[in-house]
Amino acid sequence: MRFLSAAAARVASLVQLGVAATSLVVILAASATAQSDAVSSALRDRVKQAVQGSTDYAAPIHAAIEKYYQDRSFELLWRKDGRRTDKATALLAALRGLTADGLEPEDYDVSAAEKLLDSDTPLDQARGEFMLTRGLVLAAADLSTGRVNANVLDKDMAPNQRKPDYAALLKDGTANDDPKTFFDGLAPQGAQYPALKKALVEWREKAKTVRYTTVPAVTGLIKPGATDERIAILRKRLAETEPDVPAPGPQGANFYDDGLVAAVKRYQDQHNLSVDGVIGGKTVFSLNIPVEERVQQVVANLDRRRWAPEIPGDRFVMINAADYSMYFYDEGKVAFRSKVIVGTPKDQTPEVSSTLITFQTNPYWTVPSSIAGEEYLPMLQRDPYALQRSNMKIFADWSSSTEVDPGSVDWSSINPKAFPYRIRQEPGAGNALGYIFFGFQNRFGIYMHDTASRFLFGEGSRNFSHGCIRLQNPFDFVEAAFKSSAMKTRVAAMANSGAQASFGFDKPIAIHVTYQTVFADETGKVQLRDDVYGRDRKVYAAMKRTRVLEKRSS
């Protein structure tokens, strides 16, 4: 009997333990549910607060986040079973990895989101949840369309920059199990973007250890065969970045020998300077650009690559104003290339995308009123008939065909800011547009054309125009576009005859005018160009500015 009583007692004890354990599980589950409900409620409040306090820029981002969480009843994304999820950890790592793309992880609140997600309080967890979700959306938008809104930053930076679909980016980003793979898929595809990322790694490594030797300013020119104490300094500076810089020859360290001339020419070629081996102000200026500035230049150009599609089709013209170059691609391959002349730093060539449909021979050049007031009015004030020597006519106004005798006008009374007359240059050998003109629709009024000043193509830095693009070999471009030497001959004959004629391309050609100061050439080698328009500095500064996403409460 005692044995049965003891057994019964043990059974009763086990039953009590089982009931207690079950009760504990129920209590813990209820506690976890209450904790989750508290975080969801706090998240709902945080999202509402963000929506109500959004800046204009962030309003569509917060609206997309609100809709996303509403559809899932504010169920958490980044915490489960009382801890941060593995996917949240992977996302935080992927966001930190965006330094390789020239982006700043703290733009996406990485550190704060991580700390808050791991907090014990529902309010902090909700804030961390919201921050990480918003960071995902912002990073996805930056990778797919660019960190900087180019159209707002500068009137001359007007590419066809895509607008992000925040809702789609959020949906796709949260559905993807590997955040890094998701981000990699958003970045521009093709050869250029990876080449620039590799260059960024290399320049950042240089910035840690390298301090370039400063080449003293040059007054005048140092030509091959000269003896100058700065030659030894120049040799040392070139050897810091360039391969195969030879040691001094028997004439001594200060003699500008053939081996060093060849190294200087290679440097000039890579940086689009006049490849003449002559050391002048532009070459010295380029050599003295600090490593840190090169890093910033690569970062800015990575963002440019994100503004528009990497491969804009199979048939297009690509003009790089920073490289003074034009490439025509047909069926995905380079069919034609040419030097170009672009705008001065004052009259910059803008970044635009459009379509070439027609072209014409022996065009008139109608002088823009700004050029007429700034450049031609002073000439007319000195000599009313000065423009006639350039085969130009003056008309009463922009809608009139009545020609004006320039000697009958009191040019001293004309306001250069409101020049009332229309000046037109007649076709001919001296016409500013040359013998052939390629128009394309854009809000800047620029176009591509031949030129009478062909000698300027011999310069390395070819920024001499008022913004339009002067093409070195326009008739060769016609041949490439039509795949027909007979068409080239026909158009050239028409141009040489003085006849005005319009032609249509057999099919439209997309044209993209860009400004890429860092790019990979056809061999894959990264090329650097001077930021003559100062746009890199603007882009980099804008990337470093903190985004204002919510208005401060008063």
| Predicted pLDDT of residue 270 | 80
> Residue 161 in 3-state DSSP?
coil
Beta bridge mates, 471: 340
Instruction: Read off φ and ψ for residue 83, nearest 5 degrees.
Output: -150, 165
Pair type for strands 79-80 and 83-84: antiparallel
State if pTM tops 0.75. Answer: yes
d(CA 479, CA 409): 46
| CA distances, 513 to each of 247, 434, 464 (Å) | 42, 21, 16
Domain ranges, ordered by start, for the chain: 35-186, 230-289, 309-540
For residue 245, give both structure tokens: 């810089």
E strand or H helix at 298, and its extent? Answer: helix 291-307
CATH T-level topology, domain 309-540: L,D-transpeptidase catalytic domain-like (2.40.440)
DSSP for 31-75 reads: HHHHHHHHHHHHHHHHHHHHHHTB-TTTHHHHHHHHHHHHHTTT-
Question: Is-contact 419 369, C-beta < 8 A?
Answer: yes
pLDDT mean values, one per 10 residues, the chain (554 residues) = 52 52 44 68 90 93 96 93 93 98 97 94 94 98 94 79 93 96 94 95 90 87 92 91 86 92 90 87 90 95 87 86 96 94 95 94 92 94 93 90 91 93 92 94 93 90 94 97 96 94 94 94 89 94 93 66
| Predicted pLDDT of residue 427 | 94
d(CA 102, CA 492): 48
Residues in the chain: 554
Question: Is-contact 539 153, C-beta < 8 A?
Answer: yes
- CB count, 10 Å around CB of 132? 25
Instruction: Read off φ and ψ for residue 383, nearest 5 degrees.
Output: -150, 105
